[in-house]
Amino acid sequence: MGPIEITFFVMMAIWALIGVIRGYNRELGITTMLLIALFVLVFTTGPMGHKFQAFLAFVAGPDPERQATLQALLFCGFLTVMVFISYQGQTLAFSGSGRNSFVSMVTGLVNGYLYAGSLWFYLACANWPLLNVRPPYNNLYYAISAILPPAIFRWPFLIGLAVLLLIIRIWK
């Protein structure tokens, strides 16, 4: 197992612990925010891809490597800010006691997967800028890369699920 995989699993474990401490009702709010953040990123690179590429070319110049680095840094920064906002201050919390430790842990794992997996995906797309990660990678690296959130979730799924969760949240 390489350093990236270990970091990924450690991050998921940390998020699982956070889930157990905070309770699943609060973690579901983070899940909703992460889904919305991911929707923004996937939509930006999908249907809005041409305009975003033009923006990258305008800021970073014609070099594709610099464009990829800028994209990775922008996306990872955006995700991190969204996660920080989600956890800090007034948070979007669902009702319920949140006392079920197992469910809270799994919800935390889901959040860890969404966040750490997305960071992995976008950093890997730019060949790990600012980090000393170089090929050859092992098979596990490639296997996990194939199931990272931005690789498997389409934008209609992300926004659909986020909207459904918000509807459930406000449903009386």
**Which of these, 134, 106, 108, lies nearest to 30 by C-alpha position?**
108
Is 132 among the residues that bind other proteins (CB under 8 A)? no
Q: How far is the CB of 129 from other proteins (least distance, A)?
A: 26
Is 87 among the residues that bind other proteins (CB under 8 A)? yes
Neighbours of 66 (CB within 10 A): 16
Q: How far is the CB of 17 from other proteins (least distance, A)?
A: 15
Which residue among 13, 159, 161, 163 contacts other proteins (CB under 8 A)?
A: 161
Q: Which two tokens stand for residue 139?
A: 């098979």
Binding mask 34-73 for other proteins (x = CB under 8 A): ----------------------------------------
Neighbours of 54 (CB within 10 A): 10
Q: Which two tokens stand for residue 93?
A: 């919390």
Length of the chain: 172
Is 139 among the residues that bind other proteins (CB under 8 A)? yes
Dist. CA 12–CA 113, nearest whole Å:
6
Which residue among 3, 63, 140, 156 contacts other proteins (CB under 8 A)?
A: 140
The alpha carbon of residue 30 and the mean position of all alpha carbons in its chain are separated, in whole angstroms, by 11
Dist. CA 172–CA 159, nearest whole Å:
22
Q: How far is the CB of 61 from other proteins (least distance, A)?
A: 34
Q: How far is the CB of 74 from other proteins (least distance, A)?
A: 25
**Residue closer to other proteins (CB basis): 95 or 132:** 95
**Which of these, 141, 104, 101, lies nearest to 124 by C-alpha position?**
141
Q: Which residues bind other proteins (CB under 8 A)?
A: 1, 22, 24-26, 28, 31, 87-98, 103, 106-107, 110, 139-140, 142-143, 146-147, 151-153, 157, 161, 164-165, 168-169, 171
